[in-house]
Copies of this chain bind each other. A is one copy, B any other.
Amino acid sequence: MRIEILCTGDEILTGKTINTNYSHIAQRLGEAGLTAYWGTTVGDDRDSLLAAFRQAAARADAVIVNGGLGPTVDDLSQEVAAAAAGVELVLNAGWLARMEEYYGRRGRVMPATNRKQAMLPAGANMIDNPIGTACGFSLTIGRARFYFTPGVPREMRRMLDEQLIPSLLALGGVQGVTRLKRFHSFGIGESRADQVLAGIEALAPGSEVKLGFQAHYPQLETKLMARGTNAADLERSLAPIEAELRRRLGNFIVAEDDRTLEGVILAALRAQSGTLAIAETFTGGSIASRLASLDGAELLFRRGVVARDPAQLCAAVGLDTDAVASGVSGALAAKVAAALRSNSGASHGLAVLVNLDEGADRLEFGGTICIGIADAKASVVRQARMLGGRDWVRRGATELGLDCLRRHLLGLPVDEQIDFEKR
């Protein structure tokens, strides 16, 4: 089935807003086993919209139109859809009542301009929007089924998942149920993950499971998109692949599905009735800021200390500045972590020191990352050299520090080599 995504609006066309709605829609289609095959972007302009609708109607089986359903004069989707289909606009009394009730609940009277949002092309099917005043609708134009969605991301996303994708699957004659399983890893690059996981889909012969990757440096997301006749069938075909994927990516998996590295760290601390203090240098507060502002962190995150100068960092955690005499090292990081721990009263201390190369960014520019972790029982050290620009090193050091802490809290080895380090 050929699906086109047609994005409308001057803000998108002129690049004022980055078109994340497009990528979200295309991704979700892919995860459901459908494929986007064409993308079009046009502005809030009658001629362009009409031409775009007509072209899409001629080449696609289904078209997802995004935007142009608002109450203002430059929102033209209903009007141009009616023109393209050769029908009139008619009032959808049900939606008008819903909007009036929506405003009523907020103690306001609906502005007259909103009435426009209940005018749909004759013959269109209204698509519910439970969280906004722009309803969607579907309509056949030419040979294609069109689905009109609001431009507000959270309204579009909910409509897409709950209504459009099931409808598109039915339209395409696709049977059964789908599931998306996600693994977040740190330390493995996309090309190595691709090699390591080669052939994994074949572990469930006869079932439809597709492997995909999305790199968000420093993390990599690995996805399994599965289709089955029912939930039990899906479970059966995914289980051996998930197990094998966990085995092959091993300790590099930091979290699954909606969980995050920072969430896993907080959960592990909570399970041990632990608390945390963090000392950092070049990362400048990036490590603390990943954890400290999370909901629930107020009970677990005790203190963060930042200094660019290692001697200043030592002073801030109550260490004699002589400690830094022999330079930044894993040993110094361990000392800082231990001092910070006793100083702050936290059960766990994490210190991430970075020895950044001098001078401007260049080929072979990088930094040496020295990590120390201290708790009541142990003192752990990890050291790694990473190459790349300042920002690359900063982000890598932040992630490596957090990941070492996760590994330590979960009893995993902290020194497995990662793809981003130079040995």
Question: A72 contacts the other chain (Cβ, under 8 Å)?
Answer: no
Within 8 A of B (CB), among A241-259: none
* A423 contacts B by Cβ under 8 Å: no
Instruction: Say if the beta carbon of A273 comes within 8 Å of chain B.
Output: no
Residues in B with CB closer than 8 Å to A284 are: 285, 288-289, 291-293, 297, 301, 304
Contacting residues, chain B, for A309 (C-beta < 8 A): 298, 302
CA distance A19 to B30 in the complex (A): 16
Q: Which of A6-57 contact B (CB under 8 A)?
A: 7, 12-20, 22-30, 35-43, 48, 51, 55
A48 to chain B, nearest CB (A): 7
Residue interface bits A278-322, CB-to-B below 8 A is 1, else 0: 100011111111011101011001111111110010001000000
What residues of B have a CB within 8 angstroms of the CB of A295 in the complex? 390
Given A308-B298, A344-B312, is A14 in contact with B38 using a C-beta cutoff of 8 Å? no
Contact A13 B42 (CB under 8 A): no
The interface residues of chain B lying within 8 Å CB-to-CB of A41 are 5, 22, 38-41
Tell yes or no: A214 within 8 A of B by CB: yes
Contact B302 A304 (CB under 8 A): no
Chain B, residue nearest A212 (CB): B16
- Given A304-B304, A305-B304, A305-B305, verify A14-B35 contact (CB < 8 Å): yes
Total copies of this chain within the assembly: 2
A406 touches B (CB below 8 Å): no
* A335 touches B (CB below 8 Å): no
Instruction: Tell me if A14 and B36 are in contact (CB < 8 A).
Output: yes
Given contacts A15-B22, A286-B293, contact A312 B303 (CB under 8 A): yes
* List of B residues within 8 angstroms of A17 by Cβ: 23
Within the complex, the shortest CB–CB distance from A316 to chain B, in Å, comes to: 6
Q: A348: CB under 8 A from chain B?
A: no
Q: How far is the CB of A127 from chain B (nearest CB, A)?
A: 21
Contact indicator A42/B35 (Cβ below 8 Å)? no
Q: Name A303's contact: one of B7, B289, B307 (CB within 8 Å).
A: B307
Interface of A is mostly: mixed
| Residues B40 and A26 in contact, CB atoms below 8 Å apart | no
CB distance from A286 to the nearest CB of B (A): 5
Is B297 touching A308 in the complex (CB atoms < 8 A)?
A: yes
Expressed in whole angstroms, the minimum distance between the Cβ of A355 and any Cβ of chain B is 12
Query: In the complex the two chains form, what is the Cα distance from A35 to B16 in whole Å?
Result: 12
Residues of B within 8 A of A30 (CB): 14-16
Q: Does chain B have a CB within 8 A of A341?
A: no
A302's contact among B20, B288, B312, B390, by CB below 8 Å, is which? B312
Please give me the residue from chain B that is nearest to A5 by CB atom. B41
In the bound complex, residues from chain B placing their C-beta under 8 Å from that of A303 are 305-307, 312, 316
How distant is the Cα of A283 from the Cα of B289 in the complex, in angstroms? 7
Asked whether any CB of chain B lies closer than 8 Å to the CB of A394, the reply is: yes
Q: Which residues of B contact A14 (CB under 8 A)?
A: 26-27, 30, 35-36
Q: How far is the CB of A215 from chain B (nearest CB, A)?
A: 9
Assuming the contacts A285-B292, A292-B285, asked whether A306 and B304 have C-beta atoms less than 8 A apart, the reply is yes
A306 engages B308 (CB within 8 Å): no
Q: How far is the CA of A390 from the CA of B293 in the complex (A)?
A: 9
Closest CB in chain B relative to A339 CB, distance in Å: 13
